[in-house]
Amino acid sequence: MSTETVDEEDALGDDVDRAALIDAFDADDPRLSPEEKETTLRFARDEDVAHFYTAEAGVGRRLIAHPEAVLDGVVVADGDARPTKPPAEVRPTEHVVGVRGTLPVGALLVKSRLRQTDRHAEIISDRVLEEVDRE
């Protein structure tokens, strides 16, 4: 996980191609072991957003696609380095291996019954992927 941060002004905006970012996060980082491919979600009582980071491609694609997500940065594989870049600066040839950002707390829900699957990506509705403009 990169410790670099990206300025708030570089967060995901209308000029960023969500579909291209989703395509760039096509697989987990092959250099990470399964226990390193983590997803974290945290929020504080005095905030109205939940902060997330994920190195799991399935979860990351859905977070990128979520219409309420604001991306603070994406981590790209660059040889042995894993720099964090503003979403708008990711080139089509780069491989995204992590994403960090925020979601409104109102987007979260913990159900009283278990889901049908224990797949991590399923914590986020797959409908968000259908809503991304993919030309």
Q: Is residue 2 domain-resident? A: no
| Residue 121 within a domain | yes
HEC-encoded secondary structure of 2-21: CCCCCCHHHCCCCCCCHHHH
Residue 16 is predicted with a pLDDT of: 74
User: Which residue do the tokens 């092959």 mark?
Assistant: 30
**82 C-beta neighbours (distance < 10 Å), count:** 19
| 29 occurs within a structural domain | yes
Query: For residue 65, is it within any domain?
Result: yes
Looking at the DSSP bridge assignments, the partners of residue 75 are 84, 98
Is residue 38 in some structural domain? yes
pLDDT tens, position by position, for the chain (135 residues)? 333 444 444 344 556 788 999 999 999 999 999 999 999 999 999 999 999 999 999 999 999 999 999 999 999 999 999 999 999 999 989 999 999 999 999 998 887 888 788 777 777 777 777 777 654
133 within some domain = no
**8 vs 2: CA distance, rounded Å:** 17
Q: Would you state the pLDDT for residue 15?
A: 66
* Domain total of the chain: 1
Nearest partner of 121 among 2, 27, 24, 36, judged by Cα: 27
Domain that holds residue 58: 8-125
Q: Is residue 135 part of a domain?
A: no
- Adjacent-strand bridge partners of 120: none
In a domain, 56, yes or no: yes
What was the pLDDT predicted at 127? 77
Tracing tokens 């399964």 back to the chain, one arrives at: 34
The confidence score (pLDDT) of residue 42 equals 96
